[in-house]
Amino acid sequence: MVREINTISVIGAGYMGKQIIERSALCGYNVHAYDVSFESLNEFISELNKSKDIKGEIIHHNNLPEAVKNADLIIETIPENIELKRDVFSQIDEVAPPHAIIATNSSSIPISKLEDVVERKDKVMNIHFYHLINWPMADLMKITQTSDETFEKGKKWVESIDITPLIVKKECYGFVFNRIWRAIKKDCLKIWSGGHADVEDVDKAWKIFTGSDEGPFEMMDKIGLDVIYDIEMSYFKKSGDQDDKPPDALKELVDKEQLGRKTGKGFYEY
């Protein structure tokens, strides 16, 4: 079967970009990568080529125009800064082939906030991945001008790299799963900070109820409590509702560098 998308470009190869490069290349796609930090990307690609059975080719570029010029799909995974993303989206639009789809992996910026900087408004969308190995799913969201063809191609590509697409039917902060996870976190944090129950019991209840191996507090420790705090603050800033403000007790853990697994102590000790 001829695939509609054969060549991918990943712009920004940090924590998420690297996972997308690896998964795409393992699934046989040719991947062109560009990051302003050339050295770390170079090391990552040589290590990957040595350690894994990479079926596609990974090509490393030192400038954006070269990295996107043969792409069918470009995934932008640069930092979560709207001005930076708008600038990079407009650069990509100028130099990418006219048929190419441009997607953002942003955790919070809807594609509607980037569409006015591109000409190809029918070929842009959100493809928001979670950790590709632990949580193999991605939220897909469009704007009114994203064509059905673009959306369908994006969806097929996501499925082709063994990731489950979650379709956002109407623009929504937090997409599909981040919004569900956020509701769970918010109340778990309130139960803990209000002294209503111990984290162990909340996690036990969650594991019995869902059959999951990990409870919400164990998951938050894995993600990092600094990351959790920043995300909760972004929901609070968006709504302005005091009920959305993360508890001071969480900020205290962050200030004490008790960030979860990565510092050896968070809600639990490791």
Ligand X SMILES: NC(=O)c1ccc[n+]([C@@H]2O[C@H](COP(=O)([O-])OP(=O)(O)OC[C@H]3O[C@@H](n4cnc5c(N)ncnc54)[C@H](O)[C@@H]3O)[C@@H](O)[C@H]2O)c1
Terminal CA-CA length for the chain: 49
By C-beta, is 35 or 232 nearer to ligand X?
A: 35
| Shortest Å, Cβ 223 to ligand X | 7
Q: Which helix (H) or strand (E) holds 124?
A: strand 124-129
Q: Are 171 and 145 in contact (CB under 8 A)?
A: no
Please give the torsion angle defined by the CA atoms of residues 145, 113, 123 and 107, in that order, rounded to the nearest 10 degrees. Answer: -120
Q: According to CB under 6 A, which one of 33, 88, 114, 161 is a site residue for ligand X?
A: 88
Verify binding: residue 219, ligand X, rule CB under 6 A. Answer: no
| Shortest Å, Cβ 178 to ligand X | 8
| Shortest Å, Cβ 116 to ligand X | 19
By C-beta, is 184 or 191 nearer to ligand X?
A: 184
Per rule CB under 6 A, count of chain residues that contact ligand X: 21
Verify binding: residue 37, ligand X, rule CB under 6 A. Answer: yes
Q: What is the DSSP letter of 269?
A: B
By C-beta, is 203 or 226 nearer to ligand X?
A: 226
Whole-number Å distance between alpha carbons of 217 and 120:
42
Within 16-35, the residues that bind ligand X by CB under 6 A are 16-17, 34-35
Q: According to CB under 6 A, which one of 4, 14, 26, 160 is a site residue for ligand X?
A: 14
Whole-number Å distance between alpha carbons of 250 and 185:
12
Q: Are 156 and 5 in contact (CB under 8 A)?
A: yes
Sign of CA dihedral 66, 84, 93, 3: positive
Verify binding: residue 171, ligand X, rule CB under 6 A. Answer: no
Verify binding: residue 107, ligand X, rule CB under 6 A. Answer: yes
Whole-number Å distance between alpha carbons of 31 and 80:
22
| Shortest Å, Cβ 39 to ligand X | 10
**What residues make contact with ligand X under the rule CB under 6 A?**
11-17, 34-37, 77-80, 88, 105-107, 128-129
